Amino acid sequence: MTTTAELKNVESELHNREAAKEAAARETHGGVMLCKRVADLPGKDIHGAEHWWLQTTRRSVGMGPATGNVPGHGESMPESFDTKLVDHSKIPSSKV
């Protein structure tokens, strides 16, 4: 039977390992992480479009339409639309 103390030790070890991996990534990339996810667009299974953005300890931003919407959530904007940096802090990602 596992005790509470043993579970806390395991939890602490997992936390330490994750913190070490994040620190190594920051050191390797100067504190900037490149993130990506599959774009939620029509035909995504056919063309495999991905949306990429940058994340630091303070911000998570990527290119998006000037309206401020995060791209790749079901809509596809023509290339001639104005763009700007858009907050991506609430987007699930997989780090590259």
Is pLDDT above 70 for 71? no
Q: What is the mean pLDDT of residues 72-77?
A: 57
- pLDDT 10s digits, 25-62: 666 666 788 888 877 776 656 677 788 888 887 888 88
Q: How far is CA 28 from the centre of its chain?
A: 17
Q: What is the pLDDT of residue 46?
A: 67
Please determine, for residue 12, whether its predicted confidence score (pLDDT) is greater than 70: yes
- Asked whether 72 and 56 are in contact (CB, 8 A), the reply is no
Q: Is the pLDDT of residue 83 over 60?
A: yes
d(CA 67, CA 83): 8
